[in-house]
Amino acid sequence: MRELTKAIAKVHINHGRVILYLEPFLIYRTSAVGNAFGELWGSRLDGRSSMWTPFDDTAIAMSQANGEWQDYVVQTARSLIRTTQADGIFLDSAGWRLNIAEETKQEVVRNSSIENAMAVLDLVDRVRKAIRIEVPDAVVLSETASGPHVQAYGWRCQRRFKRFIRYLDRKRDNRRTTPHLSGPVRPSSSKHL
């Protein structure tokens, strides 16, 4: 972790930003978390079946509505940001499973698809609050940030990203020439980012 922290500090010195990846949905069965908690916190779609393995038998779909799993994700995110001072967390796979009814062996309560969707949004809010204790302007991003996620993640992140792109464009405009070109450097359009 020390090397990662040093690398992030170097990126910050050069005015860069670093977003760390955290998977709140798919956990490998053979990982420490999968071995310790997969049976308890893994999703079961109908309550009687075995754990949901959406892609293959090596990964467990964790229930984002499970309170203890949420606590684990929030604590992990906060610890990563505290240790590294990174600029945010990317919650992979969080958004594409908003409409799934599921339960876990531990809670034995079937969450409706609406309750599960609300739990995903609650997890986003909890992660954001936790990481902003460590880095006040930290952001939370996710795969498939659409629909209700747009409001949960907020527009501030998008505005900051656009402001950052404008900064990079100005920086490129300020370069007069490059060794291999005879004229000023023209920035590429940021419209396509």
Task: Give the alpha-carbon dihedral of 125, 130, 134, 137, to 10 degrees.
Answer: 0
Residue-wise pLDDT for 131-172, tens only, equals 999 999 999 988 765 555 555 555 455 555 556 556 656 655
Give how far Cα 78 sits from Cα of 83, 129, 136, Å: 8, 9, 12
Contact status, residue 63 vs residue 43, Cβ threshold 8 Å: yes
CA distance 145 to 23: 15
pLDDT surpassing 50 at residue 178: no
Judgement on whether residues 128 and 118 belong to the same structural domain of the protein: yes
Q: How many domains does the chain have?
A: 2
Judgement on whether residues 66 and 112 belong to the same structural domain of the protein: yes
CA end-to-end span of the chain: 31
Judgement on whether residues 26 and 109 belong to the same structural domain of the protein: yes
pLDDT for the residue numbered 168:
59
Residue-wise pLDDT for 3-60, tens only, equals 999 999 999 999 999 999 998 888 888 889 888 888 777 776 665 667 666 667 788 8
Judgement on whether residues 108 and 145 belong to the same structural domain of the protein: yes
Higher pLDDT, 173 or 178: 173
Q: Would you state the structure tokens that stand for residue 82, as one six-digit string?
A: 């505290």
Confidence of residue 109 (pLDDT cuts 50, 70, 90): low
Higher pLDDT, 102 or 11: 11
CA distance 22 to 20: 7
pLDDT surpassing 80 at residue 99: no
Judgement on whether residues 41 and 66 belong to the same structural domain of the protein: yes
Judgement on whether residues 177 and 106 belong to the same structural domain of the protein: no
pTM of the full structure? 0.70
Judgement on whether residues 101 and 88 belong to the same structural domain of the protein: yes
The phi and psi torsions of 96 (rounded to 5 degrees) equal -85, 0
